[in-house]
Amino acid sequence: MRRRTWVYVALAAVCLATGACNNPPKDQEVVEAAPKPATASSAKAAPAPAAQPDTLQILSVLSVERAVDLLAQREGIVQKISYDQDRWVEQGAVMAQLDDRELQTRLQNARLDLEIAQNNLKYAEAQTKAMRAEYRRQQELHKYGLGSDSALDEAEFKANGAGFDEESWRATVTRKQFEIHALELEMEKTRIIAPFSGYVARRYIREGQNVVKNDPCFRLSQLAPLEVRFLVPESAGRRPKSGEPLQVVPVDDASRTYEARVKLVSPTIDPASGSYDVTAQLTHPDLDRLRPGMAVKVLWPAGRRAATP
């Protein structure tokens, strides 16, 4: 009996072990099934945020409307320099003087010649008046038979000759006046005059130097209003309109940004670069740290491309 009982116990243990192998625990089923809902939810994930619109960075330099090199208009020796670099100059001020002594002498002689010509003209006018009066008198005498034909012809000849002399001296007076005017213009060319108010950015000449025509003497520039001129690719989109805003950043300090507005837009396209010219004026309230000639980057919004028809 005892042996048969142990056999039954062994068979029961085998059956229990087989059932445990075929039926895994419930918590294991949960663990294995958990990844399935995760796969379904991943298909419905939120879209990534849209990227910020890109911006064209166009290199350029700051400039001003009035900035010119003042050139010598004639040859001469620099006699005096009245303004140096970094000085403020008012419009019309004489910045430098060339030696004009020779021109002064020629001008004085021309004025004396003019005075002589004017006196000769006055004499010729009086003589013409007298000769014409004599001619009229001879006409009256000849009319009543009291004068000869030869006397009448002589009076007519002298009256006409006096008139020609008068016209000749009048032309001489006019020519002398033009000569004086030309010398006065040459005198003006010996003075380097500021065409507008501004700062002397550079002085090229020194006293005693012999300059020739078109030699640079001074660089005169204003400091405001500041402008930036740059080329925009035609492919960048629609053309901007006057007054549209943009931003300008100094190349040496990207942390500073300045506001500007479009001032001029070229109506034509440069065939070599496929771009057009734009001029913008800086409108930021604090521009004390900026100077003409500084390198800057123009931040050209690419958002304008969306408006392309």
> Do 105 and 183 fall into the same domain?
yes
Going residue by residue through the chain, which has 309 residues, state the pLDDT in tens, using 9 for 90 and above.
444 444 454 444 444 444 444 454 444 443 333 444 444 333 333 333 333 456 789 999 999 999 999 999 999 999 999 999 999 999 999 999 999 999 999 999 999 999 999 999 999 999 999 999 998 998 988 888 888 888 889 999 999 999 999 999 999 999 999 999 999 999 999 999 999 999 999 999 999 999 999 999 999 999 989 999 999 988 887 788 899 999 999 998 888 999 999 999 999 999 998 999 999 999 988 888 899 999 999 998 765 544 433
Q: Indicate whether 114 belongs to any domain.
A: yes
Q: Is residue 212 part of a domain?
A: no
Cα distance between residue 122 and residue 125, in whole Å: 5
Domain carrying residue 118: 100-189
226 in the same domain as 178: no
- The neighbouring-strand residues paired with 229 are 279
Residues 165 and 239 in one domain: no
Let me know if residue 43 belongs to a domain: no
Question: Has residue 234 been placed in a domain?
Answer: yes
Question: Are 180 and 260 in the same domain?
Answer: no
Q: Are 87 and 93 in contact (CB under 8 A)?
A: no
Does one domain contain both 249 and 175?
A: no
Name the domain boundary from 189, 212, 247.
189
What is d(CA 122, CA 116) in angstroms, rounded to the nearest whole number? 10
Burial of residue 162 (CB within 10 Å: 0-12, 13-18, 19+) is buried
Query: Cα 182 vs. chain centroid, distance in angstroms?
Result: 32
Query: Does 28 reside within a domain?
Result: no
Q: Indicate the pTM of the whole model.
A: 0.66
Q: What is the CATH number of the domain that holds 256?
A: 2.40.30.170
Q: At what angle do helices 149-189 and 101-143 cross, to 10 degrees?
A: 160
Among 189, 208, 233, residue at a domain's last position: 189
Distance CA 57, CA 49 (A): 24
- Contacts of residue 298, Cβ cutoff 8 Å, sequence gap at least 6: 56, 57, 58, 59, 60, 228, 230, 246, 247, 248, 260, 280
Structural domains counted in the chain: 2
- Domain membership of residue 91 (yes or no) is no
Of 143, 164, 189, the residue that ends a domain is: 189
Give yes or no: residues 248 and 176 share one domain.
Answer: no
Q: Are residues 174 and 233 in the same domain?
A: no
Structural domain contains residue 119: yes
Cα–Cα distance between 204 and 273 in angstroms, integer? 35
Say if 274 falls within a structural domain.
Answer: yes
Q: Are residues 172 and 240 in the same domain?
A: no
CATH value at residue 168:
1.10.287
